[in-house]
Amino acid sequence: MASKHVDANRVVICGGGLSGLTAAISALEAGVPVTLLEKGAELGGNAILSGGMIWTYADYDRMRADIPNGDAMIQWMIHENIDAARTWLATQGVDLGPDQRCHEDFGLGRQMQPPQAIEALGKRFVELGGDLRLESPLDSLITDNGAIRGVRIARDDRVTDEAARAVVLATGGFQGNSELLARYVLKNPSNLYLRSNPWSTGDAFLAATQIGAAASPGMHNIYGHALAAPPARFSKWEFRDVSQHYGQKAVAINLCGERFCDESIGGSEDTLNQSLIHQPEGRGFYIIDHELYDSKDMHASKVVTRVIVDRAKKAGAPVVVADTIEELCKKLSAFGIPEPRVLRELTEFNQLLQSGRGDDLLPPRKLHRLPLVHGPFYAIAVKASITFTMGGLAIDNHGRVVRRTASSSVLANVPAERALDDSDSQVKRIGVEYRQTVIEGLYAAGCDVGNISHYEYAGGLAPALATGRVAGCNAGAFVKQKAG
């Protein structure tokens, strides 16, 4: 039975990461009661494990060019709202640095310190009168005639109902659910390290799709970075330390001794990681020469290659060093890498680049066309990881979850000079039909929203903040309107 002492005219937020906390505070500011349910024993989600840069593309047209298969409407919503959302975040007691260019200068962001930010937001939520409940995972959603009426919580071997007029799903994706990963991403989820908190197991996705919510396109895409391979050992606080960000400039081989993709493409090494997940055991080696090892260029992790490689070795990952390519290949055979195959692969790579025939490389190499010529040479054992899933629930530009039965299609383009508007009573046409049928009272934010990124990465914290702000404000306004 639903709790009788609690006003049903409230918003329930499921998930206590950046998007959930943002949605919760935003709904409180709208003047309605809010209950925040967090599955774990503490707030923070993936945000607290992140580097803290709240960035996304500075230019919408560049985002569309790089991520054309992402949801144009939601990408526009993030682009339109992120600056105001970052300014709002600073008013909540979060220490933010100034605007700065990042990610090869196409990104724009502000730096937060994740532990301080999560603590400040949690404190702000309680100060505003929010009801915080830890260790309270979402079991399912309660509906009446298709509209949200509450949530069902699984806690202490019991299932209890909580009445609510609106629910915001912000549970962080399904990267911790092997069954869903096998269904949507890859056949063998053991190929992946979980570079994430352990609580994002698709609870929101399962609950919402059970009542008719639409899944987004791009369910097979993920974000993550290759990490130092077993027998390396490291804690969740060291995920960034053992992430192999230099991979785009390396030669990546799988356990068969073969190059398997163009290592250089994409905004960062996470694109290479998406190819590595489909290789045998999700493992391989990143091979570099001493020039890259000793380079002073800093990677996305704000450290140089030497530091990353040394951290991997210290963590226990195999790191092979040799004065010649031939010797390196011989040493790699001790790890099951076929010596003739890998030697042929690296020799061909060097010969084609040195002779100016880089276009003949298969797989191709679009950027960073530098041969391995400066010894000693290094081969660092890596394993693919997942930080969050890019696929999830389909939403509209108000953060409302779309029904599977919606008449919809993905917008090919969104005018950069203005936002799109719509109403519940009509379908807005801008070049193509815009989806309109939503589940009344159900909103989603953060990694529970699907297809913001699609293969290429549009940032994690900035979409979480922007979608959390939109979903929280609109859920609060919806409940206030219904309550009269």
With b for 16 or more beta-carbon neighbours within 10 A and e for fewer, the 111-145 pattern comes to bbebeebbbbbbebbeeeebbbeeebbbbbbbbee
44 to 12, 307, 402: CA distances (angstroms): 17, 28, 27
Cβ–Cβ under 8 Å, residues 462 and 186: no
pLDDT at 431: 38
Rounded CA-CA distance 369/359 in Å is 10
Strands (E), 246-362: 251-254, 283-289, 319-322
Below-50 pLDDT ranges, the chain: 1-5, 407-435
Token readout for 480 is 């206030």
Assigned CATH topology for domain 11-220+389-483:
FAD/NAD(P)-binding domain (3.50.50)
What is the pLDDT at residue 7? 67
Residue 241's region, left for phi above 0, alpha for psi from -120 to 50, else beta, is alpha
Residue 6: what pLDDT?
53
CA angle 251, 256, 257 (to 5 degrees): 35
Structural tokens at position 56: 């996304």
For 241, how many CA atoms within 13 A lie in the half-sphere containing its CB? 15
Question: Which tokens go with 213?
Answer: 């919510």
Burial class (CB in 10 A: 0-12, 13-18, 19+), 209: middle
Closest CA to 92 of 40, 184, 149, 18: 18
pLDDT at 418: 38
Task: Say which DSSP state 299 is in.
Answer: -
225-383 belongs to CATH 3.90.700.10: yes
Query: CA–CA separation, 280 vs 427, rounded Å?
Result: 47
pLDDT, residue 448, reads 98
Return the number of other C-beta atoms located less than 10 Å from residue 157's C-beta: 5
pLDDT at 436: 60
pLDDT digits (tens, 9 = 90+) for 131-168: 999 999 999 999 999 999 999 999 888 999 999 999 99
3-state secondary structure 222-251: EECCCEECCCCCCCHHHCCCCECHHHHHCE
pLDDT given at position 267: 86
pLDDT digits (tens, 9 = 90+) for 373-410: 999 999 999 999 999 999 999 999 999 999 998 644 44
Contact partners, residue 105, CB within 8 Å, separation at least 6: none
Instruction: Delimit the CATH 3.50.50.60 region(s) of the chain.
Output: 11-220+389-483
The ranges of the chain annotated as CATH 3.90.700.10 are 225-383
Instruction: Determine how β-strand 388-389 pairs with β-strand 222-223.
Output: antiparallel
